[in-house]
Chain A
Amino acid sequence: MDYIRYIEKTHEYYRGLGYDKTYNYAHNEDIPFTPLNKPLSECRVTLVTTASFILLDEGGIPLEKPGMIGTNELEVFTAPNDRPADRILSTSQDHDRYQTDMADVNAYFPVTRLQELLEERMFGSLSRNYYRTLPNYSHRKTTEVDGPEILRLCREDHVDVALLTPV
Chain B
Amino acid sequence: MSLVARVLEAGGISTVTYTNARDIAASAGNPRQIFLNYPLGNPTGRPHDPENQRSVLREGLKLLENADRPGIIVDLSYSWSDSDEWMEKFMTDEQPFISEDAEARRQELLQNAREQKARKLK
Which residues of chain A have a CB within 8 Å of any CB of chain B? Answer: 1-10, 12-13, 25-37, 40, 48-50, 68-72, 92-104, 106-110, 112-114, 116-117, 122-123, 133, 135, 139, 142-143, 146-148, 150-151, 154-155, 159-167
Contact A94 B70 (CB under 8 A): no
- Tell me, rounded to whole Å, the shortest Cβ–Cβ distance linking A155 to chain B: 7
Which chain A positions have C-beta within 8 A of B10?
32, 34
Which residues of chain B have a CB within 8 Å of any CB of chain A? Answer: 1-25, 27-31, 35, 37-48, 50, 53-54, 57-58, 60-61, 64-65, 67-71, 75, 80, 84, 86-87, 89-91, 95, 97-99, 102, 106, 109-110, 112-113, 116-117
- Tell me, rounded to whole Å, the shortest Cβ–Cβ distance linking A41 to chain B: 10
Which residue of chain A has the shortest Cβ distance to B6 in the bound complex? Answer: A32
A35, A147, A160, A165: the one contacting B67 at CB < 8 Å is: A35
Contact A33 B39 (CB under 8 A): no
Interface residue SS majority, chain B: mixed
Contact A162 B50 (CB under 8 A): no
Contact A167 B31 (CB under 8 A): no
Given A26-B2, A107-B45, the answer on whether A4 and B64 have CB atoms closer than 8 Å is: no
Contact B13 A7 (CB under 8 A): no
Q: How far is the CA of A48 from the CA of B71 in the complex (A)?
A: 19
Contact B15 A164 (CB under 8 A): yes
Contact B117 A34 (CB under 8 A): no
Which residue of chain B has the shortest Cβ distance to A114 in the bound complex? Answer: B57
Which chain A positions have C-beta within 8 A of B57?
110, 113-114, 117, 163
